[in-house]
Amino acid sequence: MIRVRGLVKRFQDGPASLTVLDGLDLDVAPGELVALQGASGSGKSTLLHIVGALDAAFEGEARVAGEELRALTPAGRARFRNATVGFVFQAFNLLPGLSALENVCLPAWFRPAGPAPAPRALAAAGRAALARVGLAEKAEQRPARLSGGERQRVAVARALFAGPRLLLADEPTGNLDAVTGAGVIALFRALAAEGLTVLVATHEERVTAAADRALLLERGRLRPA
Note the pLDDT tens digit of each residue in 41-53: 999 999 999 999 9
Confidence of residue 168 (pLDDT cuts 50, 70, 90): very high
* Burial profile 187-212: b = 16 or more Cβ within 10 angstroms, e = fewer: bbeebbeeebbbbbbbebeebbebbe
Which residue type occupies 26?
A: L
In the three-class reduction of DSSP (H, G, I as helix; E, B as strand; rest coil), residue 170 is classed as strand
Residue in 74, 59, 73 with CA at minimum distance from that of residue 11: 59
What does DSSP say about strands 2-13 and 59-64: parallel, antiparallel, or unpaired? Answer: antiparallel
Mean pLDDT across 96-106:
96
Mean pLDDT across 28-32:
97
> Cα–Cα distance between 25 and 222 in angstroms, integer?
7
Mean pLDDT across 163-181:
91
Residue in 47, 42, 53, 49 with CA at minimum distance from that of residue 82: 53
Number of other CB atoms surrounding residue 19 within 10 Å: 13
Instruction: Look at residue 89 and tell me whether its pLDDT is greater than 70.
Output: yes
Residue in 183, 176, 190 with CA at minimum distance from that of residue 148: 176
- Return the DSSP state at 115: P
pLDDT, residue 112, reads: 63
Confidence of residue 114 (pLDDT cuts 50, 70, 90): low
The domain segmentation of the chain, as residue ranges, is 2-224
pLDDT, residue 15, reads: 83
Show the beta-strand stretches assigned E in 108-220. Answer: 166-170, 197-201, 213-218
In the three-class reduction of DSSP (H, G, I as helix; E, B as strand; rest coil), residue 86 is classed as strand
Number of other CB atoms surrounding residue 73 within 10 Å: 9
In CATH, the architecture of 2-224 is: 3-Layer(aba) Sandwich (3.40)
Which residue type occupies 128?
A: A
Which residue did the predictor score with more confidence, 213 or 91? 213
List the beta bridge partners of residue 33.
198
pLDDT, residue 108, reads: 86
Helix (H) or strand (E) holding 85: strand 85-89
- 8: Cα within 13 Å, side-chain hemisphere: 9
Which residue did the predictor score with more confidence, 221 or 119? 221
Euclidean distance between the first and the last CA atom of the chain, given in angstroms as a whole number: 21
Confidence of residue 119 (pLDDT cuts 50, 70, 90): confident
pLDDT more than 70, % of the chain: 97
> Cα–Cα distance between 46 and 8 in angstroms, integer?
11
List the beta bridge partners of residue 76.
none
Mean pLDDT across 112-135:
84
Instruction: Look at residue 71 and tell me whether its pLDDT is greater than 70.
Output: yes
